[in-house]
Amino acid sequence: QLYREARECLTLLSQRLGSQKFFFGDSPASLDALVFSRLAPLLKAKLPNGKLQQHLKSLQNLCNYCTSILSLYFPWDGGESHPPPQPATCTDSSEAEEDPHKRRKQLLSVLVGLAAMLGYAFLSGIVSIQRGSVGPAGRQPIAMEEEEEEE
């Protein structure tokens, strides 16, 4: 029922927006800020259940609305005065959004975590390294408990 009501709300917003740039004409109002703050994460975030996101992507005017606001008010910070090129439609490919160094970052974070856990284990005394001496002919010295058993 919740998804049905959310889909209905998105459809009503799409109908209200129509072909306008903003909800109340050519300049944004507080309603535009409120609607954008709800739609943009829904449109751009990777969600475990994409039913609502797919419905939003099917409403092309709301999708264009979000893309337009993103390019107008959140320009690219790469020292350029113009935003990065936006795709013509709302169906972004997931490969284009993925970080090219994702594997390296994952491996680095695993190694840092492993080093932190090993450091903690050594410092807390959970794990200790003892160097043992090897006797003649490669035999190890007998521990006290083993000596008592042999007698």
pLDDT at 94 over 50: no
Domain boundaries, the chain: 1-74
Q: Which long-range contacts (CB under 8 A, 24 or more apart) does 91-98 make?
A: 91/57, 94/46
Return the structure tokens found at 5. Answer: 């009501």
Residue 120 to residue 38: CA distance in whole angstroms: 43
Task: Kindly give the residue spans of alpha helices, DSSP state H, lying in the chain.
Answer: 2-17, 30-44, 51-58, 60-73, 94-97, 102-124, 144-150
* pTM of the complete model: 0.51
pLDDT in tens, 23-81: 988 888 899 999 999 999 998 888 888 888 999 999 999 999 998 898 888 876 444 45
